[in-house]
């Protein structure tokens, strides 16, 4: 059968692919979008949106528990049913993507349900049958999947990934979480706040190991306060299952739990994609240049490029690829001010480089740190005011190269810090602007005033 000719084929209609496909269709291109699971991808069905509904619920419980001593007395009875219902009915439409498919086709995109593979330059085959010839090219937006470590006995067991943890309609009595990154910590805290006995096992010496050590400390203390047993510097060497999980640990101990959540990182979905037909042998991710080009007539966006697994990054990269495909001018990809927020309570937001990352790059950094509890707003807030602002500056250039804001509104305070790092706002400007009182973001002023530069009279 002859190949169907189109302008662009987008493989994977998650966050990044749907954005690319939809906006190219808006621009009048003939676009085929291929998706084998659900249009919208991980974020709306098993990622950001349902997990943030979970954290919203967990935070409401925690806030209610802070009423004693602040505003009277509250008896809090946790109930998972409304959370499961919101996830099923409001977030995911019972894991049905009809609305998303209609959204895509309503913009003029042609939707194909199936598994796509590249069959040569500009050629895509779906489910080994239908073939498409893309005049302008192919966009790979296939995302990532949970990494399952090769632990003795794990493979055959009914372990959870983020998907089962989000789909859960009835809570287990206990949960072991392998991995102390963003997924592990957000879910561990929520489950604990709903009364599940949670144990987190993190192989590194600290939680959130890629972030500032102060972030790890805040996360560790917050989880512990919620009753989570946190074990760092320890991994599992064997897993067995018989009506529950038993994990043998690297220190010889054991942990038992009704359910086991594997949250040990993500791997790009590149297998069976036919990249070899273009002479590409990808590593862990699909390398792209600053215009998201992986090869002639091949673009890639989102998690699959390995720049970070975040929805805002997939959207950002989509925007760059769209401009390039349409031949429009615009700035190249710039990751200096990549923001990220771990939605624990307190939220841990960060942008740009940590102190250690800046030092690795040879920057003779100066840092500033202020705990939220010493700010007026932190004092007023009282219970639940844990957090801090940490700034990492390059004194030679007089700008911030990174920052962390942890606290009840850590992700929102991050907005100002993201602008500062992205736009390279001079530290002297940050020192002499006005910060509203009494806000959490005033902690930025307290921190920025600590720098020894520029010399002040």
Ligand X SMILES: NC(=O)c1ccc[n+]([C@@H]2O[C@H](COP(=O)([O-])OP(=O)(O)OC[C@H]3O[C@@H](n4cnc5c(N)ncnc54)[C@H](O)[C@@H]3O)[C@@H](O)[C@H]2O)c1
Binding site for ligand FAD (CB under 6 A): 11-12, 14-17, 34-37, 41-43, 47-48, 51-52, 115-116, 141-144, 162, 183, 269, 273, 302-304, 309-312, 314, 343
> Dihedral of the CA atoms 371, 372, 373, 379 (nearest 10)?
160
Pairing outcome for strands 130-140 and 123-126:
antiparallel
State yes or no: residue 257 binds ligand X (CB under 6 A).
no
State yes or no: residue 145 binds ligand X (CB under 6 A).
no
Cα separation, 225 vs 213, whole angstroms: 18
CA distances to 210, 293, 320 from 216, rounded to whole Å, are 9, 36, 33
Q: For ligand FAD, give the closer residue by CB, 273 or 416.
A: 273
Stretch touching ligand X by CB under 6 A, among 116-124, 241-249, 272-280, 337-345: 337-345
Give the three-state DSSP class for 115. Answer: coil
- In angstroms, give the least distance from the CB of 445 to ligand X: 27
Instruction: Give the residue, chosen from 175, 178, 257, 288, that forms a contact with ligand X under the rule CB under 6 A.
Output: 178
Q: Is 185 annotated as a binding residue?
A: yes
- In angstroms, give the least distance from the CB of 324 to ligand FAD: 17
Q: For ligand FAD, give the closer residue by CB, 222 or 318.
A: 318
Give the three-state DSSP class for 380. Answer: helix
209 binds, among ligand X, ligand FAD, none (CB under 5 to 8 A by kind): ligand X
Q: How many residues lie near ligand X (CB under 6 A)?
A: 27
Q: Is 265 annotated as a binding residue?
A: yes
The kind and range of the H/E element at 299 are strand 298-300
Q: Considering only residues 389 through 448, tell me which ones interact with ligand X, judged by CB under 6 A.
A: none
Cα separation, 116 vs 124, whole angstroms: 6
* Residue 437: other Cβ atoms inside 10 A: 10
State yes or no: residue 198 binds ligand X (CB under 6 A).
no
Cα separation, 385 vs 389, whole angstroms: 12
Q: Is 109 annotated as a binding residue?
A: no
Q: For ligand FAD, give the closer residue by CB, 255 or 314.
A: 314
Q: Is 71 annotated as a binding residue?
A: no
Cα separation, 303 vs 288, whole angstroms: 12
Q: For ligand FAD, give the closer residue by CB, 107 or 312.
A: 312
Instruction: Give the residue, chosen from 19, 202, 317, 445, that forms a contact with ligand X under the rule CB under 6 A.
Output: 202
Give the three-state DSSP class for 381. Answer: helix
Q: CA 100, 59, 351 angle in degrees (round to 5)?
A: 70
State yes or no: residue 180 binds ligand X (CB under 6 A).
yes
The dihedral of CA 48, 53, 59, 63: what is its sign? positive
- In angstroms, give the least distance from the CB of 344 to ligand FAD: 11
Which residue's CB comes closest to ligand X?
A: 181
Q: For ligand FAD, give the closer residue by CB, 302 or 378.
A: 302
**What is the x/- site pattern for ligand X, positions 282-311, by CB under 6 A?**
--------------------------xxx-
Residues in CB range of 333: below 8 A, 6 or more apart: 290, 291, 292, 307, 316, 317, 320
**Could you tell me if 140 and 12 are in contact, meaning their C-beta atoms sit under 8 angstroms apart?**
yes
> Both tokens of residue 268?
């790009």
- In angstroms, give the least distance from the CB of 222 to ligand FAD: 17
- In angstroms, give the least distance from the CB of 187 to ligand X: 9
Q: CA 282, 285, 290 angle in degrees (round to 5)?
A: 100
Residues in CB range of 142: below 8 A, 6 or more apart: 11, 12, 14, 17, 268, 269, 270, 273, 304
Q: Is 127 annotated as a binding residue?
A: no
Q: Is 202 annotated as a binding residue?
A: yes
Q: For ligand FAD, give the closer residue by CB, 83 or 443.
A: 83
Q: For ligand X, give the closer residue by CB, 121 or 149.
A: 149
387 binds, among ligand X, ligand FAD, none (CB under 5 to 8 A by kind): none
Q: Is 303 annotated as a binding residue?
A: yes
Instruction: Give the residue, chosen from 184, 274, 302, 319, that forms a contact with ligand X under the rule CB under 6 A.
Output: 184
Q: Is 143 annotated as a binding residue?
A: no
Looking at residue 373, the DSSP 8-state letter turns out to be: G
Q: Is 233 annotated as a binding residue?
A: no
- In angstroms, give the least distance from the CB of 64 to ligand FAD: 23
Looking at residue 72, the DSSP 8-state letter turns out to be: B
Q: For ligand FAD, give the closer residue by CB, 35 or 324.
A: 35
DSSP notation for 335-371: -TT-EEEE-SSSEEEEEE--HHHHHHTT---EEEEEE
Known binding residues for NAD(+): 179-186, 202, 265
């Amino acid at each position: 059968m002859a190949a169907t000719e189109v302008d662009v084929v987008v493989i994977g209609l998650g966050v990044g692919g749907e954005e690319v496909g939809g906006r190219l269709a808006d621009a009048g291109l003939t676009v085929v979008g291929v998706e084998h699971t659900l249009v919208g991808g991980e974020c709306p069905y098993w990622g950001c949106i349902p997990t943030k509904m979970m954290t919203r619920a967990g935070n409401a419980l925690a806030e209610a528990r802070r009423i004693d001593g602040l505003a009277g007395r509250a008896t809090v009875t946790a109930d998972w049913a409304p959370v499961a219902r919101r996830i099923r009915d409001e977030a995911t439409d019972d894991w049905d993507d009809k609305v998303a498919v209609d959204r895509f086709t309503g913009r003029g995109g042609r939707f194909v349900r199936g598994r796509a593979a590249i069959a040569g330059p500009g050629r895509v085959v779906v489910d080994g049958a239908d073939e498409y010839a893309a005049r302008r090219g192919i966009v790979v937006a296939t995302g990532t999947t949970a990494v399952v470590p090769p632990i003795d006995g794990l493979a055959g067991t009914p372990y959870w990934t983020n998907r089962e943890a989000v789909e859960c309609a009835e809570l287990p009595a206990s949960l072991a979480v392998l991995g102390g990154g963003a997924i592990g910590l957000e879910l561990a805290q929520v489950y604990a706040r709903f009364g599940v006995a949670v144990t987190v096992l993190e192989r590194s010496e600290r939680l959130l190991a890629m972030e500032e050590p102060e972030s790890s400390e805040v996360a560790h203390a917050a989880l512990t306060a919620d009753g989570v047993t946190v074990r760092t510097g320890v991994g599992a060497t064997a897993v067995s299952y018989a009506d529950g999980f038993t994990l043998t640990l690297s220190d010889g101990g054991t942990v038992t739990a009704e359910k086991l959540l594997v949250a040990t990182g993500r791997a790009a979905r590149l297998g069976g994609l036919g990249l070899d037909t273009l002479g590409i042998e990808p590593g862990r991710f699909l390398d792209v240049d600053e215009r998201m080009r992986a090869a002639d007539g091949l673009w890639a966006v989102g998690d699959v490029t390995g720049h970070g697994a975040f929805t805002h990054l997939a959207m950002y990269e989509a925007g760059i690829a769209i401009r390039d495909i349409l031949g429009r001018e615009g700035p190249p990809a710039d990751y200096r001010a990549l923001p990220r927020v771990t939605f624990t309570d307190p939220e841990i937001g960060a942008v740009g480089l940590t102190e250690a990352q800046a030092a690795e790059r040879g920057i003779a950094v100066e840092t500033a740190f202020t705990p939220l509890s010493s700010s007026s707003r932190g004092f007023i807030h009282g219970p639940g005011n844990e957090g801090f602002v940490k700034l990492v500056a390059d004194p030679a250039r007089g700008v911030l190269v990174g920052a962390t804001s942890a606290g009840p509104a850590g992700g929102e305070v991050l907005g100002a810090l993201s602008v500062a790092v992205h736009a390279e706002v001079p530290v002297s400007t940050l020192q002499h602007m006005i910060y509203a009182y009494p806000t959490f973001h005033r902690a930025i002023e307290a921190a920025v005033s600590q720098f020894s530069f520029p010399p002040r009279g």
